[in-house]
Structure 1
Amino acid sequence: MRQVFTIFTIVGLALATMLHTLAGEPAAGPQHGTLLAVGGGDKTSIWPIFFDLIGGKDAPIVVVTTANSKSDLANGDVQDLKDLGASNLTVVHTDSRDTADSDSFIEPLKKAKAVWIAGGRQGRLVDIYLGTKVERELHALLARGGVVGGSSAGASIQASYLVRGSKSDNTIMMAPGYEKGFGFLRDTAIDQHVNTRNRVNDIKEVLVAHPELLGIGLDEATAIVVRGDRADVVGAGFVHFSTIEAGKDIVYQVAAGSSYDLAARRPVDPVVERTGGAGDRVVEESGVIRVAIYADEGSPKAPDLIEGCLTDLPARFQLQRVSAEQIRAGILEGFDVLAQGGGRASIQSDALGETGKEKIREFVRDGGGYVGICAGAYLAASDRPYYLRLVNARVVDREHWARGGGDVQIRFTEEGRRNLQQKTQVAQIRYNQGPLLARDSQVDMPTYTELAIFETEIAKKDAPSGVMKGTSAMVSAPFGKGRVFLSSPHPERTVGMERLLQAAVTWSARRDIPPNP
């Protein structure tokens, strides 16, 4: 019986979409006006877009602060707008449905060019405004070409299906009596704070129960601008568009600067499939490569160094530091690559714990990329059962791991020159006690590919000479569906080697590497 209902629902949705299209109306978005839905967090990059949409800072703006029980005068969004120069600002709030249904209360809405719905608990918006004159005036504002924006709760309420509507527990995705939003976006459900609160997969519960819906997950500091059925992604992160199709969970991670067709339920721009197969979760990316950078115990300086190599290319890389606790909680599911930098591998291992290390293995096994540098390379080797064991590699002369640091020469193999876009065969690079890698003999793991070998060596602190030269300096290997790149020396600490790290991250993400100019 459940299967019949599901099929009927999907057919009904397709028919409704077709009728909207034939009538010249959007299938999901507003026929007139513009929506701006923000995933919460920092809105520094969003406010200028909001002002552009409404025609400037002198436009009449109404801010609805009811979702937050704190004083409306202390609302952060109100203060932001004032500080940015909004000169025609009205704040409205009430705890009474009767007041919300009065003509005097909605008078500012009739004159507004834009309404901003501030964050808090979306259940409060349901209690006070759903089905009142306030809701009707918001629809009227859109009908006359106005703008409705909102962040966090103010984003979720814009959908037809309301997630996290419970006023007491925002981990409840489907709260009885609080499952209906204002419906500016039809057949949708909007979640927020997706990246910082590990919510990438939470929407699936809703879609399983309501497969006709489109799930929209907003990263913090990220928004969609919706006109008709086109959703343009703006801000600092990603928007995760989720559907269930033929029993398969489909997720498109669309980067800022790209767009999504709400009617076709596909990105406007080309996408790259990362994982798939019968019964698998299919994640497809559009735009930049999303890189998680380990930033916790055992890696004090590495995040700054890695970011320094990748930050100047925002059109290609989206960076976020992640903690061991976040990794254990599953945050890597929203990324393409994990960068594990230098420091102390044993401390990193302890900080991650067995749960965190297994989460990393699952991430790579399912199609993610791993870039390990120095300590991150030690951590990925296979000769310690308590490490990650991503690559069939052992550490040579581990007893003298603290062999000192300095500049060394490495020689790239043909595979290394091709995959890492290196024009020269020999290069100088910074070394600081990284692992001397050699092939291990784990029968359940493939042999790694050698990308570079050490041509010269460091042999300080009683380390024997003649050992380092000829060992593997950089290697790559598959792990499940994913890719692993390891570097014993430090490209991120070597002037002129930034391009190598960029190429390694791009290769690990299974993307095309732009040619080295």
Structure 2
Amino acid sequence: MVINRTTGSITIWVYDDEGASALSVQSALVTMQQKLPENLITKVQTISSQDIIDNVLNDKLNDETKSILIMPGGADLPYCDKLNGLGNDNIRQFISEGNIYIGICAGGYYGAHDIKFAGQSSEESYEINGARELALFSGTAIGSISEFTDGQLYDEAVKSKTIVSLDYANGQQDEVYYHGGAYFVADNDAEFNIVATYSNGKNAVVSGNFGQGKYLLSGVHFELCPRVYQQYAVAKTDNADIEREQSLWLAINHEDYGALIYREIARMVEGVFLSNKQA
């Protein structure tokens, strides 16, 4: 796939504010540049909640300049606290006018109409349930998926991290890092695409149209960068867990890690950009 750079420019914004995981943010800043076609991207940079409220996303956008907003992993309640109201209104306008939203783990929950989340803290389980204002995907994001982690609900411990197998709509398979993400259950009348499913058949990555733009929501961390993972995870791990963290690092430390989802994003960019150019 090649998009002629003379036809326009594409900026990737990575949300970096309260709730966003440094591991996910810093990884996305690297791999979005590395793994999307190099002729596609003009620049990759962070964006804050105040920037979004100030409508930086929509400033000077036109048929020649398009953008992708990455909502990374972390915790989605702080996203709600910062962006509910005007922030989400601006994001929805941004997408509907021909741009793209990519939600990863917490960002995937945040992009669904409803969430049902169970986690664990200080040996006690907790739940976060409710509607989400952004509501790009007409359905519910449900997690964490403890069947993949020997019954362990999401927490910061290494036992709640694992590698899962994904099956793609085109028949391909790969293995991707999982840490507390969702599976996506659509409402009966929802129009969306299944990009990939978990080994249990539940939807791991979904995409769809929103106005003239598109969204992709992922329950897995396809964006991880090995160098960043070494810095933010392996290097900070207690000796008791170091072997498991190193095995996770090895699983993401190859050239094709996350490539199938990145190819889907590249197709989305091409579809949005070219269709809007021809409209």
Structure 1: give runs of 5+ residues left out of the alignment: 1-256, 259-268, 272-285, 418-424, 456-468
For the pair shown, which has the larger CA radius of gyration, 1 or 2? 1
Matches within 5 A, 1:97-496: 269=6, 271=7, 286=8, 288-301=9-22, 302-312=24-34, 315-317=39-41, 318-333=43-58, 334=61, 335-383=66-114, 384-396=130-142, 402=154, 404-414=160-170, 425-441=172-188, 443=189, 446-455=190-199, 469-493=200-224, 494-495=252-253, 496=256
Deviation beyond 6 Å, 4+ runs, structure 1? 398-401
Contact 1:341 1:373 survives alignment (8 Å): yes
Contact 1:289 1:506 survives alignment (8 Å): no
Cα offset for 1:321? 0.7
- Give the TM-score normalised by structure 2: 0.66
Q: Give the paired residue count.
A: 206
Question: Per the alignment, do residues 328 and 434 of structure 1 end up closer, same or farther by CA in structure 2, a change over 3 Å counting?
Answer: same
Structure 1: which amino acid aligns with 2:40?
R
Contact 1:339 1:371 survives alignment (8 Å): yes
Query: In structure 2, what is the Cα distance between the partners aligned to 1:431 and 1:498?
Result: 12
Cα offset for 1:393? 2.3
Task: Please provide the CA RMSD for this pair.
Answer: 2.6
Query: In structure 1, what is the Cα distance between the partners aligned to 2:176 and 2:144?
Result: 21
Cα offset for 1:501? 4.7
- Give the TM-score normalised by structure 1: 0.37
- SS of match in other structure, 2:85: helix
Contact 1:485 1:504 survives alignment (8 Å): no
Match of 1:24 in 2: none
- SS of match in other structure, 1:361: helix
Structure 2: which amino acid aligns with 1:506?
A
Cα offset for 1:385? 3.1
Match of 1:242 in 2: none
Query: In structure 1, what is the Cα distance between the partners aligned to 2:70 and 2:267?
Result: 13
Structure 2: which amino acid aligns with 1:306?
A
Question: Per the alignment, do residues 475 and 399 of structure 1 end up closer, same or farther by CA in structure 2, a change over 3 Å counting?
Answer: closer
Deviations 1:362-417 (A, max 9, x none): 11111111111101100001124333100112123579762822011111112xx6
Contact 1:506 1:512 survives alignment (8 Å): no
Cα offset for 1:499? 2.8
Question: Per the alignment, do residues 399 and 471 of structure 1 end up closer, same or farther by CA in structure 2, a change over 3 Å counting?
Answer: closer
Question: Per the alignment, do residues 504 and 371 of structure 1 end up closer, same or farther by CA in structure 2, a change over 3 Å counting?
Answer: farther
Structure 2: which amino acid aligns with 1:359?
N
Structure 2: which amino acid aligns with 1:450?
I
Which one scores higher on RCO, CA 8 angstroms, separation ≥ 6? 2
Contact 1:381 1:392 survives alignment (8 Å): yes
Structure 2: give runs of 5+ residues left out of the alignment: 115-129, 147-152, 225-251, 274-279
Question: Per the alignment, do residues 353 and 448 of structure 1 end up closer, same or farther by CA in structure 2, a change over 3 Å counting?
Answer: same
Match of 1:197 in 2: none
Give the structure with the larger helix fraction.
2
Structure 2: which amino acid aligns with 1:412?
Y
- SS of match in other structure, 1:362: helix
Structure 2: which amino acid aligns with 1:388?
L
| Identity across matched positions, percent | 23
